[in-house]
Each structure stands twice: as C-alpha cells, then as structure tokens.
Structure 1
C-alpha cells in the first residue's frame, strides 16, 4: 500500500478506488438518493447551502429550524437506507476503527457549489475518524487546525481519493473552496459526490 499524503494531519489516499469501483459506488449512491432524496438545507444563519445532502445508515445529519443534528429519519419521514457494502468496504480497509459507522453523509456539489471551513463536532465519539470519499469532479480541499484562524493548506481531491480525519486532525477545520466542474467523466452531467462516514455514538 502506498503511504498516504499528509495534509495538516489529514491522511489522503490518492486514487484508492479504481474506475470500476467508482462507477459501482455511483450506482449505489443513486439508489440511496431514490430512497432518501437530496435536500438543500438552510443554515442557522438563514442562508441556503449550495451543496445538496442526503444520508445512509442508522442516522443522517439534518438541519431543522436552524438546529444541526443527527436524526434517525429522512426529513420526508422515512428511514435512511442502509450504507452500501461498496462504501463500508473502504471504511473497513482504512479507518482502523473496530465497528462500522453509524452514518454516511452524501453531499452533491453542482456547478459553483462549495463548503466553507467547518469542523465535524456533532458526533459523540471523537476517537473515531471521519472518512471521506470523493467521486466525480476534482475539488480544492482546504485543511486548517483546531482554531478557525489557524493557517490552512489545500490540495486537489480527485475522483477515487479517500481522506481520513483522525487523531489530532479529527476536529480540524476543513472545507471545499471550489470544484472544477466538468473535470471528470464519472458523472455524465458533471458535479462531485462526497461521502463521509462517521461514528456518531460511543456504543
């Protein structure tokens, strides 16, 4: 196995998924979206997000009345679909965590979409890593430190890359500055899919 790149403590496994594996995972994501349609949430500050979101697993992340939380049901009322085996296999190979994640967040970045600097702190188990899978168009990924004003570094994330935020970098601020729309042929109409796997509870 090629050693991962280090981006401010985030381990980046370049080209972890080959093209057939990426194509199979996209089909699994489409099945997730049929069962739990993508949502465009509004932040606590009243601003619509440019990224559309859904989830799979026991829990999904939602914004309701300005509150960020994990919920056991899709906003439309149904349960979240199970996390596909194609996604779990990446977690089991790379996370180093003894049990499967509670949640797989699925973000879709269309043209012009971005994700501002933030950190994943709504979970109750910070010892477990957050594992992120990139599919589709390249993105500029930025990672800082534990304080919002800490210096940042950035690198391209390409289709098939896997990033792991663990250890001291588990609560690092990170975000996506932009995507290079149409920079990949994986999604016929362009765009980027990002899947993040999270352990939400300690038991």
Structure 2
C-alpha cells in the first residue's frame, strides 16, 4: 500500500497513548518543530554524511545512518559500539542541535520520564523498502533513561514487541511528527520498522527521517 500524508489529517497532539508499560506514543508532538528539526538534521548530515553500516554478521543495513551529540552509535564486523568520534572522519560527531535536545527532553517528560538529558542522537534515513529488524537498544551504559524516537516524513509501521525476540510485536503506524517514548519495564523491548512503503511526502519526498535520542554515556 502507498501512503501519503493526505490519507488523513495530521494527528493533533493529545494525551500520551500507552502501548506497553512504560511506553507511549505522542501523536503529533513534534509537528510544530518539524521544520526546525529537519533543517538541523541537514546541517548534521552535511558534517557527518549518512552511511550504510555493516552488521557484525556482515550484512549492510538498508537504513542510512549518522549521529550527533557527545557519542555516536556505530556498527561494523567488530561489533556494535558508541564512539565519541566519527569513524569516517576521525573527528568528533557534530554537536547535538539545541532544538533536538529540547524536544527530546520535553517528550520524555510528557511520557513520565523527567530529567532526560540525551547525549546521543542517531539519525536514520529510510527510503522505500528500507527496514530495521527487531532489536533491543542495549548498548547504552544508562538503561534507566528512556529512548525517544521522532518520526518525520513518510509514515512507517513501527514494530514494538516484548522482552523476548519471540514475542509478537504490535504494529503501530507512525506519521510525520509522531514521537514514541519507551523506558522503565519496556526499556529493553524488542522493536523495529517494517519495510517502508512507497509514497510522496510534501517536504521530504520519498523518504522518512527518524531521530532516536539516548543517554549512552
């Protein structure tokens, strides 16, 4: 199925929508800041270009990735890790834009996680067909802090499961401006993104940008 923003009006920001213990969707939470977030993301990508990382198993990821903040997440045949420098340039990752940190802190607080101070933001670009298999965010040293994930551009089907890979995940449609937050008992829930359906977004065209905020250090 091909999705478009015109399939339905943007969801207004309302009360958090529970999806699991400690996990909520904030529909339309980032809509007002979407343009500022996209412009800031473009500046980060200009300094640390998107790249398709290799997994320890030797597969090339279909999602293009970059980072900003004090730490950046990377993957290679040597494993998954956080680094304070970009392996491609040897330079520190670009600083986290103020609008990124502000939105992440406000979204976490709205979801019940006060005092969230992210030090890493992973920027993912999905093009039609790109996907992210079920996985846990477990490389961070501070698992008491939540994950904040912002969706921009084409809608996607977010897969949110349980603490075992075999748990059947819920399928949740995320639209432009939606934010997912999970922590507490759901902090290590398996999650992923189904293959992105083709479509045309009026601002981003045939792509989706995802910002994932973490407390890694």
**Fold shared per TM-score above 0.5:** yes
Describe how 1:117-136 pairs up with structure 2 within 5 A: 117-136=134-153
1:168 counterpart residue number: 185
Q: How many positions carry a matched residue from both structures?
A: 199
2:129 counterpart residue number: 112
**Cα distance between partner residues in 2 of 1:60 and 1:11:** 25
C-alpha deviation, 1:2, in angstroms: 2.3
2:58 counterpart residue number: 46
Q: Check if 1:182 corresponds to 2:191.
A: no
1:103 counterpart residue number: 120
2:10 counterpart residue number: none
Q: Is the Cα–Cα contact under 8 Å of residues 158 and 191 in structure 2 kept in the other structure? A: yes
Q: Is the Cα–Cα contact under 8 Å of residues 50 and 66 in structure 2 kept in the other structure? A: yes
1:141 counterpart residue number: 158
Alignment CA distance shift 1:65-1:44 (3 Å): closer
Match of 2:78 among 52, 62, 66: 66
RMSD: 1.4
**Cα distance between partner residues in 2 of 1:33 and 1:5:** 31
Note the residue ranges of structure 1 that are not aligned, 5 or more in a row.
none
**Cα distance between partner residues in 1 of 2:134 and 2:34:** 26
1:32 counterpart residue number: 44
TM-score normalized with structure 1 length: 0.93
Describe how 1:64-103 pairs up with structure 2 within 5 A: 64-76=76-88, 77-95=90-108, 96-103=113-120
TM-score normalized with structure 2 length: 0.87
SS at match of 2:134: strand
Alignment CA distance shift 1:155-1:99 (3 Å): closer
C-alpha deviation, 1:181, in angstroms: 2.6
Q: Is the Cα–Cα contact under 8 Å of residues 108 and 191 in structure 1 kept in the other structure? A: yes
1:199 counterpart residue number: 215
Alignment CA distance shift 1:94-1:161 (3 Å): same
Q: Is the Cα–Cα contact under 8 Å of residues 136 and 158 in structure 1 kept in the other structure? A: yes
C-alpha deviation, 1:182, in angstroms: 2.2
Residues 51-88 of structure 1: CA distance to partner in whole angstroms, max 9, x if unpaired?
01000000000113331000011112111111111111
Range moving further from structure 2, 5-14 or 169-178 = 5-14
SS at match of 2:34: helix
C-alpha deviation, 1:183, in angstroms: 4.4
